[in-house]
Amino acid sequence: MRKVGVAILGLGVVGGGTYRILKSHREFYQKTQGLDLTVESVLEPDKAKLDALGVDPSIVASNIAEVVCNPDVTIIVECIGGDGAARDYVLAALYAGKTVVTSNKLLYAKHSEELERAARQHNAGLQLEASCMGGVPIVRTLLSGLQANIITSMVGIVNGTTNYILTKMTEEGASYEEALENARRLGYAESDPEADVEGYDAVYKLSILSSLAFHTKIPVDKIYREGLSKITKDEISCAGKLGYVLKLVAVGRQSGQGVELRVHPAFVPKEHPLASVGGCFNAIFLRGDSVGETMLYGSGAGALPTGSAMVSDVIYAAKHIDEISSGRKAIADKVKIVTDFQSGFFLRLRLADASDGLSKTTALFARKGISIKKLHRLDGDGKALLLVTEETKESTLHAAIGKLAEGGVAENDLLLRVIS
């Protein structure tokens, strides 16, 4: 049986979960994987965290040099987060020829080329399953489960905090502020929730997943982003009236025109598999040219779900110790980023005239080549109109909206995209 020494950098939520799994499942992995995985070093300055997990003081390192120079350590698990000290530590590990397993989506999304170059130059491994969607095995699926396919599209709920907030608003009628505060109390949201609610976390994940799915490099700054902070009960109500639920989605699509990448709130049809994904759960819906449609679903965060993904990567790395980087082979050609999105759209219009405003609106849309999928008049004076279009280019839709306003036919006060 082969013994493989592991070091853990950081014993926060993910690092602590990883440590507990490695310790409690050691005999199980010996029996089922033929590996003796031992924690040989821990870098964590907070003594309370060390004591809470019962870490042997003899394996506690005082600096990163002690970790990377430890001959008993083969795999280094990075759970620090951010791209400050974590970047320095990961590079030090790779320079020392150690395999790195990381859950750090921000670090990999922003610095993947530098990290992969270091891994190649020093014959080191680099694994990142836990960086996207917690315990959902999406990275391994893209690398070794769906590699026979050309992936044409992906749409996912990849952030548990925002999904929890929208679920509370939809199912319990909570306001955005109430749902966010509840998420904070339960530990689902940070004291500063900007990375989650403004979509940055989802952008980092989409950058990684679309790079893997489309075999290219997708820079973070090329992904369109809208957050949740402006969402109110009105948007939730409109969605329900038309047969949709509101979700924060990450969308990646490739075609002959290029790659379309966006993170934003969207109406999802109630019959779509993603519509039933509630609470802190994550899911991603993929289309491959051969396999067709498939969806992965599971816990998107937490100590044990994310720790499970980390240990899965440790086991994989231990069995493929000579495999350099994450196994991704990127196409060298630069991909064209599509910015004129093709989507269905939801609009809330205020008609100038209840009697003929509707006919003028539908006629103008028809002239622009925009098909209307759903219409709903709100109670009252008959001037408030909810409308959903079939897929069209964003530029075409905005041109039509502009003509409505110029002609005094209608004013638009709400626009959201719709998942087909």
Q: Which amino acid is at 22?
A: L
Q: Is residue 10 scored above 50 in pLDDT?
A: yes
Residue 187 vs residue 60, higher pLDDT: 60
332 has a pLDDT exceeding 80: no
H-helix segments, 264-344 = 303-319
pLDDT value at position 324?
59
For tokens 């809330």, name the residue: 348
What is the rounded CA–CA span in Å between residue 375 and residue 353? Answer: 16
Q: Where are the alpha helices (H) located in 244-333, listed in sequence order? A: 303-319
- 329 pLDDT tier (thresholds 50, 70, 90): low
Which of 89, 97, 101, 103 has the alpha carbon at shortest distance from 126?
101
With a cut of 80, say whether residue 254 has pLDDT above it.
yes
Q: Which of 105, 110, 168, 205 is catalytic?
A: 205
Highest-scoring range by mean pLDDT, 111-115, 181-185, 190-194, 247-251: 247-251
H or E segment at 365? helix 357-367
Cα gap 65→48, rounded to integer Å: 23
Q: What is the pLDDT of residue 170?
A: 96
Dump pLDDT digits (tens) for 98-144. 999 999 999 999 999 999 999 989 999 999 999 999 889 999 999 88
Average pLDDT, the chain: 92
Q: Cα–Cα distance between 75 and 315 in angstroms, integer?
A: 10
**Domains by residue range for the chain, with CATH:** 2-134 (3.40.50.720), 138-299 (3.30.360.10), 342-418 (3.30.70.260)
Please tell me the chain's helix, strand, coil percentages from 3-state DSSP, rounded to the nearest 5. 40, 25, 30
273 vs 279: CA distance, rounded Å: 15
pLDDT given for residue 325 in this prediction: 54
The mean per-residue pLDDT over the stretch 346-373 comes to 91
- Structure letter (DSSP) for residue 60: B
**Considering only CA atoms, which of 251, 250, 249, 247 is closest in space to residue 235?**
247
Please, where are the H alpha helices in 43-104?
47-53, 64-68, 85-95
Measure Cα distances from 265 to 216, 231, 246, 284, 302 in Å.
26, 8, 7, 15, 23
Q: Which residues pair with 298 in a beta bridge?
A: 282
Closest residue by Cα to residue 134 from 27, 224, 46, 13: 13
In this structure, are strands 244-255 and 99-102 parallel, antiparallel, or unpaired?
unpaired
Backbone angles phi, psi at 335, to 5 degrees: -85, 145
Beta pairing class for 392-393 and 342-351: antiparallel
pLDDT at 278: 95
Residue 20 and residue 72: Cα distance in Å, rounded?
A: 20
Specify whether the CB–CB gap between 143 and 316 falls below 8 A: no
Name the one residue in this structure whose structure tokens are 């609106």: 361
Mean pLDDT for the stretch of residues 47-56? 96
**Alpha carbon 375 to its chain's center:** 32
d(CA 180, CA 177): 5
Phi-psi region of 199 (alpha: psi -120 to 50; beta: other; left: phi over 0): left
What is the distance between the alpha carbons of residues 285 and 288, in angstroms, rounded to a whole number?
Answer: 10
Q: Which residues pair with 258 in a beta bridge?
A: 255
The neighbouring-strand residues paired with 374 are 388
For tokens 């980023």, what's the residue?
337
Active site residue 247: no
| Mean pLDDT to the nearest integer, 23-51 | 96
Average pLDDT estimate for 177-200: 90
Q: Is the model's pLDDT at 184 over the cut of 50?
A: yes
> Taking Cα atoms as reference points, which of 353, 345, 352, 348 lies closest to residue 370?
345
Tell me the one-letter amino acid at 84.
Answer: G
Nearest residue to 139 (alpha-carbon basis) of 322, 365, 306: 306
The mean per-residue pLDDT over the stretch 248-261 comes to 94
The pLDDT value recorded for residue 137 is 92
Asked which of 101-105, 285-289, 299-303 is least confident by mean pLDDT, the reply is 299-303
Q: Looking at the predicted structure, is the pLDDT value of residue 326 above 60?
A: no
- Per-residue confidence at 327, pLDDT binned at 50, 70, 90? very low
